[in-house]
């Protein structure tokens, strides 16, 4: 661990504060999982993640440093922005999966594999959209959306398995499916807005 910028003392386990002088340290942690203190895996509990996020925000939020040195204020701004980005990324299964794939050296965009799957997934998505458009009553529409939600849950479970087995190609395919399902549920919700 690097030494404190202010007194060259030892920096604490979280990499946030100096154990000797208490000064806030510049952000050093490499990724969102490390920032929120969880292992870099797909299977994480969101409530625990949020608790950890609140705990850390309480310690490093810029409001805590309103009366401190300019560089500490700057660091707290960076820490808080990183934490916000980390929580937003890891909270959503799709974004968490995408982020994890990128960390493991298999980013989603630009690989040929998904284009083939795209067509499969597109056809499926179009079928669901037709089902939604054809739903005669609000209850029927809700049923279509509920079905999509059920599918999303199943895909999320499959993602856990795929990541656990380090099957990155499979995980990438599942991530894309989940992305389409999420978008479908979101659009359906949007449509119900007056």
Partner 1 sequence: MSLLQIHEPGQTPLPHAKKSIAVGIDLGTTNSLVAVSENNKPLVLRDAQGRGLVPSAVLYQAGSMHVGEVARAALQDHPERVVVSIKRLMGRGAEDVMRVADQLQYELDTSSGGMVRVKVGGRVLTPVEISGHILEELRGRAERTLNREVRQAVITVPAHFDDGARTATKDAAKLAGLQVLRLVNEPTAAALAYGLDKGAQGTYAVYDLGGGTFDVSVLRLEMGVFQVLATGGHVQLGGDDFDRAVAEHFLIDRTRMFGAEKLTSPDIRRAMAVARQAREHLTEHETGSWPLDLAGRLTWHSLDQATLNALIAPKVEQTIAIARGVLADAKLDAAELNGIVLVGGATRTPLVRRRVAEFFGRPPLTDIDPDEVVALGAALQAEALTRGSDALLLDVTPLSLGLETMGGLVEKVVPRNTPIPVSLAQEFTTYQDGQTAMAIHVLQGERELVSENRSLARFELHGIPPMTAGAARIRVLFSVDADGLLTVSAEEITTGTRQQVAVKPSYGLSDSEMAEMLRASIEHAKDDMTERLLREARVDAERLLLAIDGALRADGDLLADGERREIDRQMQELRRVMAGTDRTPILDGVDALNTATETFAARRMDRGIQQALAGVSVSALADRLVAGEGTRPPGAAK
Q: State the residues that interact with partner 1 by CB under 8 A.
A: 51, 54, 57-58, 61-64, 66-67, 77-78, 80-82, 84-85, 87-88, 189-190, 192-194
25's tokens:
């340290």
Closest CA to 88 of 49, 37, 60, 57: 49
Query: 20 and 7 in contact (C-beta within 8 Å)?
Result: yes
Minimum distance between the CB of residue 78 and partner 1, rounded to whole angstroms? 7
* DSSP three-state, residue 61: coil
Task: Quote the DSSP letter at residue 65.
Answer: G
Shortest CB 154 distance to partner 1, Å: 21
Is 20 or 92 the residue whose CB approaches partner 1 more closely? 92
Is residue 153 within 8 A of residue 120, CB to CB? The reply is no
With respect to partner 1, which residue has the nearer C-beta, 19 or 85?
Answer: 85
Residue 3 C-beta: closest distance to partner 1, Å? 26
Closest distance to partner 1 from the beta carbon of 189 (Å): 7
Closer to partner 1 by Cβ: residue 1 or 48: 48
Residue number, 81 or 146, with CB nearest to partner 1 = 81
Q: By C-beta, is 70 or 193 nearer to partner 1?
A: 193
**DSSP string for 106-148:** --STT-THHHHHHHHHHHHHHHHHHHHHH--SHHHHHHHHHHH
Minimum CB separation of residue 82 from partner 1 in Å reads 8
Write the burial class of residue 136 (CB in 10 Å: 0-12 exposed, 13-18 middle, 19+ buried). Answer: exposed
Dig out the tokens for 50 from the structure: 């949020």
Nearest to partner 1 of 104, 189 (CB atom): 189
Least distance in angstroms from the C-beta of 185 to partner 1: 10
Give the tokens for residue 27. Answer: 């952000």
């Amino acid at each position: 661990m690097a030494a404190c910028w202010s007194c060259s003392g030892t920096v604490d386990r979280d990499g946030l504060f100096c154990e000797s002088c208490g000064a806030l340290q510049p952000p050093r942690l490499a990724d969102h999982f490390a920032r929120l203190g969880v292992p870099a895996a797909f299977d994480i509990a969101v409530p625990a993640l949020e608790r950890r996020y609140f705990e850390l925000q309480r310690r490093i939020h810029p409001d805590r440093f309103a009366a401190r040195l300019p560089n500490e204020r700057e660091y707290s701004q960076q820490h808080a922005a990183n934490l916000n980005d980390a929580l937003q990324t890891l909270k959503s299964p799709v974004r968490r999966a995408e982020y994890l794939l990128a960390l493991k050296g298999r980013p989603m965009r630009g690989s040929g594999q998904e284009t083939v799957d795209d067509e499969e997934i597109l056809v499926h998505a179009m079928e669901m959209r037709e089902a939604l458009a054809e739903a005669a009553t609000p209850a029927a529409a809700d049923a279509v959306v509920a079905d999509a939600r059920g599918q999303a849950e199943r895909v999320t479970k499959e993602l856990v398995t795929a990541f656990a087995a380090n099957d990155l190609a499979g995980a990438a395919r599942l991530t894309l499916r989940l992305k389409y399902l999420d978008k479908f549920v979101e659009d359906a919700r949007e449509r119900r807005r007056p």
